[in-house]
Amino acid sequence: MRQGWRWFGPDAPVTLDDVRQTGATNIVSALHQVPIGRAWTEGEVRQRQALIETTPAGRSPLTWSVVESIPIPDAVKRTGGKAKAEIAAWIASLEAVAACGIKIICYNFMPVVDWTRTELDFVTPTGATAMRFDHERFAAFDLFVLNRPGVENDYSEADRARAKAVHDSMTEAEMAEITRIITSALPGSTTEPMTVPGFREKLAAYDCVDAKHLRQNLIEFLKAVTPAAEALDVKLTLHPDDPPRPLFGLPRIASTADDYAALFDAVPSAANGMCFCTGSLGVRADNDLPGIARRFASRIHFAHLRATTREGDGRSFHESAHLDGDVDMVAVLKELVAEDRRRSPQHTIVFRSDHGHRMLDDLEKTVTPGYPAIGRLRGLAELRGILHALDARPN
């Protein structure tokens, strides 16, 4: 297995030399500066690749192995194969990436919002901070700030009462902070920062898109792009929904093993794969993570390894340390290692320690939410330790 590290580019707080010190060898990155829907050019990709792979004297080499991500425009999610210009631009970006030898592309199909949290610095018992999703605070925002049409139908009477109590107890500053977090474009997002009225407009555009329609739109997208991916030996890896359940009345279609099975049955191409994110899938108690890894082993080309802890009734959760929480990371890695050993060296799985606690010196620094250096370094070291114990030395 190849040790990856997500790097957000030359302006990111974590530098490439910082990455070298973690022991990671494979970079996961993207052209975040390119507007969504505009095709990447080979020249742009090569410029970023040169920045990553030109190794200063005496330094350890790095390889850009995974693109995370080429965002899928909103029009594709709403209209599927009808968004011909947007799909053509996406294929052109895929071709530019493949021309530079990068053969794994991660993407998601979450409408309007990407990964969603209500807190970015929830204080853990160690004093480190973590990202958290508090269902009652989320409901308070949804019901009493966003107040979208029909919102009351998505919550029970008891849920609405608790959300009202939470909303009434919060200061204006606290509610403004939740609003900022939810409506901002977080790392990896396919949206721009939004105002609350703009958010309502985005949601209204999906009024006629239910789970069946959204899944069909993804299938149409995959049928359009997989021939190009197959021809170029590119693997497309769909990231799970985060959290893996409907939000804001929007459907989610990559939350369970059955969701992925439906997509693989509809588009059986070997290019149609998954990004196995243990943190996202692990939020649902009914997701058997080692079983999913075993069932879809040949489809897994990229893995996000992190753990979450479900709270209370299972709807709230926070990011835990990588070997804590509700994910049996040893069992997961046993399955991934078994699959990895069946592969040729150029097709081994790239994994990265996903997210991480904000801790030690990073508590005093500006960091990308979810991506501090030290917390991810700790996670990568722990994952590497498991791999050594399994006699599977990572590279």
Active site residues: 239, 277, 304, 354-355, 371
The tokens for 200 are: 């309502």
For the chain, report the end-to-end CA distance as a whole number of angstroms.
Answer: 6
Q: Are 156 and 180 in contact (CB under 8 A)?
A: no
CA distance 106 to 348: 15
Contacts (Cβ under 8 Å, ≥6 apart) of 20: 59, 60, 62
